[in-house]
């Protein structure tokens, strides 16, 4: 990871610890795991909470075209850096809960949001909007450091989603797991 990315991340962490809720950007191993289902055939993709762009780079490395990728990032300093790093990618300085207003027919959503630090009503708003923006066969890939799926169970059931765990990524600090949510 470039040291400028780490410096930017740490400065934004000090400004808004709750929104960022991680001690460092995710590892390349976690970035490979959370993007493993993507290919040029996935079609339009959205990313939630890209931060310094570790997952964004991995999404593009999977062959997703820049024009097919939309990023939702609340932090304006991260948005400026993302626009410089990823020309041709749409960067929206707004909450992930607005994805349904901006995107339709998404094949996948990659989420780096710290769901465990969010109130349940915000999690519900984000996932309801995500379901609205997804194709019927689309999937939401969400990582967590916690021991179980990060979306509260009653919200998953209300939205009619199934959830599948991926392998634990031990080399991420802290170790993490990716969960995939799909329409039941």
Helix (H) or strand (E) holding 165: strand 161-169
Residue selected from 35, 42, 44, 48 as contacting ligand SAM according to rule CB under 6 A: 48
**Is residue 47 a contact partner of residue 109, using CB atoms and an 8 Å limit?**
yes
Q: Applying CB under 6 A, what is the total number of residues that bind ligand SAM?
A: 22
Cα dihedral 31, 36, 39, 43 sign? negative
Told to check if 46 binds ligand SAM by CB under 6 A, we report no
* Interaction between residue 150 and ligand SAM (CB under 6 A): no
Q: Is 79 in the site for ligand SAM (CB under 6 A)?
A: no
What is the nearest approach in angstroms of ligand SAM to the Cβ of residue 85?
13
Closer Cβ to ligand SAM, 101 or 162, answer by number: 101
Using the rule CB under 6 A, which residue among 21, 36, 80, 93 binds ligand SAM? Answer: 21
- List 141's β-bridge partners, or say none: 110, 180
The residue assigned the tokens 């999977």 is 62
Q: Does 96 engage in binding with ligand SAM (CB under 6 A)? A: yes
Sole binder of ligand SAM in the list 37, 57, 85, 114 (CB under 6 A): 114
**CA distance linking residue 131 with residue 140, whole number of Å:** 9
Cα-Cα-Cα-Cα dihedral sign, residues 148, 153, 156, 161: positive
Residue 19 found at the interface with ligand SAM (CB under 6 A): yes
Decide whether 96 or 109 has the Cβ nearer to ligand SAM: 96
Rounded CA-CA distance 121/89 in Å is 29
Nearest to 159 by CA among 100, 116, 113: 100
Is position 75 an interface residue for ligand SAM (rule: CB under 6 A)?
Answer: yes
Write out the residues near ligand SAM by the rule CB under 6 A: 19-22, 25-26, 48-51, 54-55, 72-75, 78, 95-96, 112-114
């Amino acid at each position: 990871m470039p040291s400028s990315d780490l410096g930017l991340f740490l400065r934004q962490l000090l400004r808004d610890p709750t929104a960022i809720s991680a001690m460092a950007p995710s590892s390349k191993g976690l970035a490979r795991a959370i993007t493993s289902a993507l290919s040029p055939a996935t079609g339009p993709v959205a990313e939630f909470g890209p931060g310094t762009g570790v997952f964004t780079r991995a999404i593009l490395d999977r062959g997703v075209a820049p024009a097919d990728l939309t990023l939702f990032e609340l932090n304006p300093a991260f948005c400026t850096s993302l626009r410089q790093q990823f020309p041709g990618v749409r960067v929206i300085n707004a909450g992930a809960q607005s994805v349904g207003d901006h995107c339709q027919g998404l094949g996948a959503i990659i989420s780096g949001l710290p769901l465990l630090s969010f109130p349940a009503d915000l999690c519900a708003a984000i996932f309801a909007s995500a379901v609205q923006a997804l194709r019927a066969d689309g999937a939401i890939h969400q990582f967590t450091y916690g021991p179980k799926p990060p979306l509260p169970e009653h919200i998953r059931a209300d939205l009619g989603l199934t959830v599948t765990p991926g392998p634990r990524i031990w080399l991420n600090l802290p170790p993490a797991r990716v969960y995939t949510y799909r329409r039941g």
